[in-house]
Amino acid sequence: MMHRGTLTLALTLAAVLAAAPAAAQRAPREGRAGAGPASAQADSPNPVKRTWDFTKRFGIPRFDPQDCTSDPARLAAMLEDYNARVDAFLAGPTDPKKLGLERKNYVKQVLGTARDIAAWRETFEATGQRSPDSDVPPLAADICRAQMQRHQLLALRDGLRAMARVYPDMAEIAPQLAEADAALAQMGDDAAIRRKVEANRAAALAQVRMKPPVARNPALEKGLHDGFARLVPDETILRLHLYSSDWYVHRNAITSVPEYRQIGAWVATRRSDGTCWISGIDLWQNYTGGGFDAGEYKLGRAPQQILCENLPG
């Protein structure tokens, strides 16, 4: 049997629920700005609520480059969504007080873009440049790296433009926006980027030289020459310079007994397309107890291009 007090409480709760408007029981919870479509920001007619939700997620966007195949589409989708959210916010009522409270934070973000613009511009300008001894990646890799700097700048520029729409009187925006525009104009389109990278690579290539031999040993030189010819039969050997004055002997750390020895050389070659390259070759010989075996010839570091006219005579 239900206790009299319990019965009274149950009847009271039922009456309260029955009196509540049906629409209030069905009303969905407010979505957070940035958690759904851009139009979700217009769901609330409350200026304070809308402005609070918007400023929690608004700021200068940062694009994360990943690869040049997917980056353009990813960037376009990101900026389309970003600008749609700004459009949706500005199309409805806003709270000037809340925007005023957030202004200092946004000024800091705007001023911080100067460092990013300078860094991306510097990286772009240097892409393709390298020291004469550096490894040289494929042309496509350098072009991709240069394009990544432009992609990041495009996202930043849209952020500055959006900031100017939200804060039309923020004087700090115009100088940074001018710098971003100037940097993007300097980079140009894909064709201009390719020309820039190719020019940088050509200038770097012109500085490549073959190092002089550190020693002479006709027997070792002949062995390395013949070994390279067997490993790379489709290239013509032009020069061979020993880069070791003597054998490097690797010994056991505990017993000091030799385990193997190695000696090598730089090899300059001409390929069938007329280009010249510098490669490395090494002779590795294992210690057998009473001496070293005949060993094995192995190619060294990746080939590096050199202008044929810059090879020693």
Mean pLDDT of 50-61: 96
- Tell me: the pLDDT tens digits for 145-184? 999 999 999 999 999 999 999 999 999 999 999 999 999 9
Nearest-5° Cα angle at 182, 181 to 184:
65
| Percentage of residues in the chain having pLDDT higher than 90 | 82
Residues 189 and 53 reside in one and the same domain = yes
Mark which of 184, 205, 226 sits at the end of a domain. Answer: 205
Same domain, 141 and 264: no
* CA 249/CA 261 separation, integer angstroms: 4
In a domain, 213, yes or no: no
Going by their DSSP bridges, the two strands 276-286 and 258-270 should be labelled as antiparallel
Q: State the pLDDT at residue 36.
A: 42
Specify the DSSP class assigned to residue 287: B
Q: Is position 13 within any domain?
A: no
Q: Which among 144, 172, 205 is the end of a domain?
A: 205
33 Cβ contact partners less than 8 Å away, ≥ 6 residues apart: 40, 41, 50, 53, 54, 56, 57, 85, 89
194 in the same domain as 223: no
Kindly state whether residue 2 falls inside one of the protein's structural domains. no
Please give the average per-residue pLDDT across 267-291, as a whole number. 96
For residue 225, which amino acid is it? H
The predicted model gives 271-291 an average pLDDT of 96
**Is 92 within the bounds of a domain?**
yes
Average per-residue pLDDT for the chain = 88
Q: Where does residue 293 rank: exposed (0-12), middle (13-18), buried (19+ CB within 10 A)?
A: exposed
Domain count within the chain: 2
On whether residue 35 sits in a domain, the answer given is: yes
Are 65 and 153 contained in the same domain? yes
Structure confidence by residue, pLDDT tens digits, 100-124: 999 999 999 999 999 999 999 999 9
Domain containing residue 278: 218-310
Q: Is residue 11 part of a domain?
A: no
Instruction: Give the max Cα distance, the chain.
Output: 114
Indicate the pTM of the whole model: 0.75
